[in-house]
């Protein structure tokens, strides 16, 4: 591939992954409008987000593995078509049930993240892979927060259904471009999808994320929450047993046990806990009327504008991440990103009297998110064999989501645990929550310090070129900076 082809491939991958990331946050500010328009309850409308989360968590690692087996381009196009169908159904949904089903279909496209990382690794020259991964991570990070900025103007000028009509247009064009211009991956692993393991993985993910995401309403001590968490523990143990005994594991446990992989995943779990909770609760904080003793009474659009410094900062730091890799290794970037997240949450705890305080804290957190997203993806890609790229990066994204669900659930408990007479949270609920999120990010920094400074590099063995049967990839003993 020439430089122009690389740019076109990257543009297609970035657009697809960016739209999926955008849909994570785009609908959130509009949920009250959807609730009113579809004449449903608040508890029901939250399933618009929960269904998307659960679906993406299940399909991300499974289709990442399918891409490793059947071809990343083919699976990428299929994921884009699923996203297109999901957005179309959502835009036309006559009731809340159909909208929730549409969100489940959209969640299938969670596989766009690991598939895109895998294609960058396969197609780009080795020297350009870190920058490609970092740039793609920056787009995903910005897309994940951009929805909070765009939702207000779109709904105000048009209608909430245009939150899905615009993605329909973009995704349709992206799918066609992907089919025509993205090359098929040369690296594939042998074997087949371990479907029993896939069912177990899906089972424990749903059994874990469902009670965590609903605990604020059901109660942490309620029978459904405790029962589902127990089921998750049992299914997780069975999944590990199935994977370790399988000749064709869905997720190779030997790869997951690599020091660079499990330490990066630990940091992802903790950092995700802080990051997603900030995204979820900071807009609500600034939208609270000043009569509550805090907040600024911002509109949805105004709250989105206060998040702009975060988006700009995460995009810039994500772009710079790959370019600084030689002098600022991925491990150092992850530690720095987590520390910036901790500093931001600490700042929110002690200073939140003016919009400028929020904008400053958001900008600092954005720098941390950009560095952390890019460095986590690069650490995983550097540390696993090519045929495991999709599954491994998919699990890293999943682990970050699990951490985010836990952080958001704990934050919800602190913020809504004690309410004022008018139903608004007390200021102390937010400050205690931001303190907890600072602790999450600080713990992520300590986990990142445990990432090996130098990790094993994996290279593809060109057995076919030597006249042998095609072989799976294997590790080289050469060390690389990570």
Residues 312 and 298 in one domain: yes
Across the chain, mean pLDDT equals 83
Positive or negative, the Cα torsion across 268, 384, 233, 250? positive
Whether 120 and 221 share a structural domain: no
CB 61 within 8 A of CB 205: no
First to last CA, the chain: 26
Q: Is 481 helix (H, G, I), strand (E, B) or coil?
A: strand
- Residue 42: which pLDDT band, with cuts at 50, 70 and 90? low
Mean pLDDT calculated for residue range 145-166:
85
Helix H or strand E encompassing 457: strand 454-459
Q: Residue 360's pLDDT is what?
A: 93
- pLDDT for the residue 467: 33
* 334 in the same domain as 370: yes
Residue 233 shares a structural domain with residue 336: no
Contact between 13 and 182 under an 8 Å Cβ cutoff? The reply is: yes
Query: Considering 192, 209, 226, which residue would you say is the last residue of a domain?
Result: 192
Say how far apart CA 20 and CA 146 lie, in whole Å.
Answer: 11
Q: Of 71-80, 317-326, 339-348, where does mean pLDDT reach its minimum?
A: 317-326
3-state helix, strand, coil in the chain (%, to 5): 80, 5, 20
* DSSP annotation of 161: T
pLDDT at 258 > cutoff 60: yes
pLDDT over 50 (residue 225) = yes
143 shares its domain with 208: no
Q: Are 201 and 301 contained in the same domain?
A: no
Residues with Cβ within 8 Å of residue 266, at least 6 apart in sequence: 447, 450
Can you tell me the mean pLDDT for 412-423?
A: 77
Tell me the DSSP string of 50-101. HHHHHHHHHHHHHHHHHHHHH-HHHHHHHHHHHHHHHHHHHHH-SSHHHHHH
Predicted pLDDT at 363: 93
Mean pLDDT of 362-384: 88
Q: Are residue 134 and residue 210 in the same domain, yes or no?
A: no
Give the range of the structural domain holding residue 270, as residue numbers without chain letter.
251-482
How many domains is the chain built from? Answer: 3
Q: What is the mean pLDDT of residues 227-245?
A: 92
pLDDT 10s digits, 420-456: 777 788 888 889 989 999 999 999 999 999 998 765 5
Asked if residue 104 has pLDDT above 60, the reply is: yes
Q: Are residues 232 and 272 in the same domain?
A: no
**275 and 419, same domain (yes or no):** yes
Domain boundary among 172, 192, 212: 192
CATH number at residue 152: 1.20.1250.20
Taking only the tens place, the pLDDT of each residue in 123-146 is 888 778 878 888 888 888 888 778
300 and 335 belong to one structural domain:
yes
| Predicted confidence (pLDDT) per residue in 361-371, tens digit | 999 999 999 89
- Asked whether residue 36 falls in the same domain as residue 14, the answer is yes
pTM score of the predicted model: 0.79
Rounded CA separation 135/261 (Å): 21
Which residues share a beta bridge with 474? 459
User: pLDDT value at position 441?
Assistant: 94
Task: Specify whether 162 is located in the same domain as 223.
Answer: no
Q: What's the pLDDT tens digit per position in 454-479?
A: 655 554 433 333 333 333 333 333 33
Angle at 321 between CA 320 and CA 323, to 5 degrees: 65
């Amino acid at each position: 591939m020439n430089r122009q082809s690389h740019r076109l491939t990257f543009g297609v991958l970035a657009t697809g992954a960016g739209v999926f990331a955008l849909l994570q946050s785009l609908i959130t500010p509009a949920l009250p409008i959807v609730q009113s328009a579809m004449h449903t309850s608040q508890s029901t409308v939250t399933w618009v987000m929960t269904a998307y989360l659960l679906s993406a968590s299940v399909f991300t690692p499974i289709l990442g593995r399918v891409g490793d087996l059947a071809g990343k381009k083919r699976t990428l196009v299929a994921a884009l078509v699923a996203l297109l169908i999901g957005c179309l159904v959502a835009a036309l949904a006559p009731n809340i049930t159909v909208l929730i089903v549409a969100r489940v279909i959209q969640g299938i496209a969670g596989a766009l993240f690991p598939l895109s990382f895998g294609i960058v690794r396969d197609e780009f020259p080795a020297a350009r892979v870190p920058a490609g991964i970092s740039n793609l991570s920056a787009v995903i990070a910005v897309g994940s927060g951009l929805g909070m900025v765009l939702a207000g103007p779109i709904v105000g000028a048009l209608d909430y259904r245009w939150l899905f009509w615009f993605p329909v247009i973009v995704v349709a064009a992206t799918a066609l471009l992907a089919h025509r211009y993205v090359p098929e991956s040369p690296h594939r692993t042998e074997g087949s999808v371990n479907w029993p393991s896939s069912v177990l993985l899906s089972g424990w993910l749903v059994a874990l994320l469902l009670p965590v995401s609903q605990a604020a309403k059901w109660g942490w001590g309620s029978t459904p929450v405790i029962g589902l968490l127990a089921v998750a523990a049992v299914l997780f143990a069975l999944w590990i047993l199935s994977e370790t005994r399988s000749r064709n594991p869905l997720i190779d446990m030997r790869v997951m046990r690599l020091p660079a992989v499990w330490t990066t995943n630990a940091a992802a779990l903790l950092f995700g806990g802080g990051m997603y909770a900030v995204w979820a609760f900071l807009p609500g904080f600034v939208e609270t009327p000043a009569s509550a003793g805090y907040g600024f009474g911002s509109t949805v659009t105004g709250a989105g504008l206060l998040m702009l410094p975060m988006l700009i900062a995460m995009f810039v730091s994500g772009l710079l991440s790959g370019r600084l890799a030689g002098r600022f290794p991925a491990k150092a970037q992850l530690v720095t990103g987590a520390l910036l997240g901790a500093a931001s949450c600490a700042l929110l705890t002690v200073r939140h009297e003016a919009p400028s305080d929020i904008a400053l804290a958001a900008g600092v957190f954005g720098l941390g998110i950009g560095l952390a997203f890019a460095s986590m993806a690069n650490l995983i890609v550097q540390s696993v064999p090519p045929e495991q790229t999709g599954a491994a990066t998919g699990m890293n994204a999943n682990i970050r989501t699990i951490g985010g669900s836990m952080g958001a659930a704990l934050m919800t408990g602190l913020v809504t645990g004690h309410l004022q007479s008018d139903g608004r949270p007390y200021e102390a609920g937010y400050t205690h929550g931001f303190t907890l999120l600072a602790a999450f990010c600080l713990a992520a920094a300590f986990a990142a310090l445990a990432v090996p400074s130098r990790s094993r590099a994996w290279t593809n063995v060109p057995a076919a070129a030597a006249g042998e049967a095609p072989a799976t990839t294997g590790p080289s003993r050469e060390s690389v900076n990570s």
